[in-house]
Amino acid sequence: MGFLQVHIAYDPKHYDVLLGKLYSLPCDSLWEEEGSITAYFDEAQFSEMQLKERLHAFPKDIFQNFSISKLKEENWNAKWEEAFDPVEIDSLCYIYADFHEKKPGFEHYIRIAPKMAFGTGHHETTYMMIQQMDDIIHTGKEILDLGCGSGILSVFSYLKGARKIDAIDIEMPSVENAEEHKELNQVEYTVYHGGVEDVPIKAYDIVLANINRTVLLTYASHITDLVASSGTLLLSGILEQDKDLVEDRYNGQFDIESCHKKGKWLCYKLTKRTS
């Protein structure tokens, strides 16, 4: 037995639904590139029939490419090392793994375990979130990281001086990876397993929501209530084509301070209006 690699090229408008379908399966890890996702499964837990059942609702023409191939078990670690490059975010942050040299000249360093590739900092949304976070004072602030994934944003919040950080994700592999990265970086935050709707309403100084359009729109009222008056909300996971939908949903109680764009993705910095 070994690992299987499932490669899917997809229409970007189906990104959030496709990702949710893959994470509902016993997926060991994901690797994202623009327009495609590669999912890795333990062969003993993989069911091609189950995968096809999850994907049957998609239009047949959204997949430009779909393939399943077997990886030799002895090459598994080498496969990750070959695929994973360090992430350099300006001179601000260097995201690296144990098998990388720690490159000097950066203000902050985040060490990760790239066996869980989703949320490594390579994706445009994570990259922009960290850039935007650098412009926000974190010292002494209380932070909520919604859909924390691997916990990189929570790690960065701690490095920026946050007083208390709560992180939550609906996927248990993400929760476990966020816990691992807490230990690797010797930082402190609390990780919960659950969805946005499971977060008790309280006022956070900064809310980080790098999720997807569906969740951001569906739970906009709940997310709004989690942000303190004059607090900051960072939104990402938004494709450029969904710009108007998101702005219309949040513009009522927030002022848009900035909107960054990288590739096809957007990242908003919003300030909640005072009552």
The 10s digit of each residue's pLDDT in 241-260 is 889 999 999 988 999 999 99
Whether the pLDDT of residue 148 is over 80: the answer is yes
Q: What domains are defined for the chain?
A: 3-81 (3.30.70.980), 132-272 (3.40.50.150)
Q: Rounded distance, CA 65 to CA 7, Å?
A: 7
Whether the pLDDT of residue 82 is over 70: the answer is no
Tokens found for residue 214:
């569906």
**Mean pLDDT along residues 24-35:** 70
**Mean pLDDT along residues 199-213:** 92
Whether the pLDDT of residue 198 is over 70: the answer is yes
Whether the pLDDT of residue 151 is over 80: the answer is yes
First CA to last CA distance, the chain: 59
Q: Which residues pair with 37 in a beta bridge?
A: 8, 32
Query: 56-67: buried (b, 16+ CB within 10 Å) or exposed (e) per residue?
Result: eebeeebbeeee
Q: Rounded distance, CA 199 to CA 222, Å?
A: 9
Q: Could you give the 3-state DSSP secondary structure of residue 213?
A: helix
Check residues 135 and 83 and name the one with the higher pLDDT.
135
Q: How confident is the model at residue 78 (pLDDT cuts 50, 70, 90)?
A: low
**Mean pLDDT along residues 45-54:** 79
**Mean pLDDT along residues 221-233:** 96
- Give the pLDDT score at 137: 94
**Mean pLDDT along residues 8-13:** 74
**Mean pLDDT along residues 113-141:** 82
Whether the pLDDT of residue 75 is over 60: the answer is no
Q: How confident is the model at residue 116 (pLDDT cuts 50, 70, 90)?
A: very low
What's the mean per-residue pLDDT of the chain? 85
- Give the pLDDT score at 23: 67
Whether the pLDDT of residue 123 is over 50: the answer is yes
Query: 102-120: buried (b, 16+ CB within 10 Å) or exposed (e) per residue?
Result: eeeebebebbbbbebbbbb
- Give the pLDDT score at 156: 97
Tokens found for residue 67:
């393939």
Q: How confident is the model at residue 64 (pLDDT cuts 50, 70, 90)?
A: low
DSSP string computed for 110-165: EE--TTS-TTSS-SHHHHHHHHHHTTS--TT-EEEEET-TTSHHHHHHHHTT-SEE
**Mean pLDDT along residues 77-94:** 78
Whether the pLDDT of residue 235 is over 80: the answer is yes
- Give the pLDDT score at 59: 65
Q: pLDDT (tens digit, 9 = 90+) per residue, 165-197?
A: 999 998 887 898 899 999 999 999 999 999 898
Q: Rounded distance, CA 143 to CA 138, Å?
A: 8
Tokens 């000097």 identify what position? Answer: 104
Pair type for strands 265-272 and 227-239: antiparallel
**Residue 200's CB: how many other CB atoms inside 10 A?**
6
**Mean pLDDT along residues 206-224:** 92
- Give the pLDDT score at 117: 44
